[in-house]
Amino acid sequence: MKSFDQWTLETIRYDKSMMNWLEERRYEWIPLAVDAIKRIIEGNSVLILADEERQWYAEYVCSSINKSLKNRPFIPIFDLKKMMPQIRSFRSPQEVEFLFDMLSISFEDRFFVWYIGRSVSPYVDIAKRREDSFLWILDEDMQNNFTLKSYDEMLDIKLVQLFRLFDKSLSVAMFAEVAIE
């Protein structure tokens, strides 16, 4: 059985839609992706949250991840802004506390936040509230974050490529085709 690292490298190199930028950054990507995939396989729900500029991406992920042609179990993924529209007007830490209390009750504390967006967005504080969030914070180098640059003219393409890799990774992990360390 291939290791996840070896499978990722081969997928990046031989998938026609991938680009070499991802090969250079795979060691940043792998631990974050493995952690998220393990939690999904263990039954955790994913609450995706994006800044306003990347809301299209959250919608793309939610509408693409469970297409029936993938022939795998559905992934419990929800757009947090659609679940809780009031989140757009949150201004206080207490409101964020109330949100996480509700989410912990609703999901029996078996969820994590997948955040995609700028570090100046008010949503980033929500995502950082939990240590186990899957963070793609733009323009911020920090631990447990897959950093991309907001000024990169290829950003949207890179986001789609990352989703493609993550989605393929989920499938091979769910069917035990790779060893998830």
Give yes or no for a contact between 129 and 96, defined as CB atoms under 8 angstroms apart. Answer: yes
Is residue 69, in this structure, part of any structural domain at all? yes
Contacts of 9 (CB under 8 A, 6+ apart): 23, 26
Q: Is 37 contained in some domain?
A: no
In a domain, 143, yes or no: yes
Residue 7: inside a domain: no
pLDDT for 117: 97
Instruction: Let me know if residue 131 belongs to a domain.
Output: yes
Q: How confident is the model at residue 18 (pLDDT cuts 50, 70, 90)?
A: low
Confidence of residue 19 (pLDDT cuts 50, 70, 90): confident
Let me know if residue 36 belongs to a domain.
Answer: no
Number of structural domains the chain divides into:
1
Q: Which of 8-12, 68-72, 154-158 has the highest mean pLDDT?
A: 154-158
- Separation in Å, CA 126 to CA 78, 112, 153, 159, 175: 15, 11, 27, 21, 32
- Looking at the predicted structure, is the pLDDT value of residue 49 above 70? yes
pLDDT at 68 exceeding the cut of 80? yes
Q: Which residue has the tokens 């998938």?
A: 15
Arithmetic mean of pLDDT over the chain: 93
Whole-angstrom CA distances from 38 to 72, 126, 173 are: 16, 22, 8
Determine what percent of the chain is predicted with pLDDT higher than 90: 81
Show the CA angle centred on residue 141, arms to residues 143 and 19, nearest 5°.
Answer: 100
Residue 97 lies in a domain: yes
The CATH number that applies at residue 133 is 3.40.50.11670
Q: Which domain holds residue 49?
A: 44-169
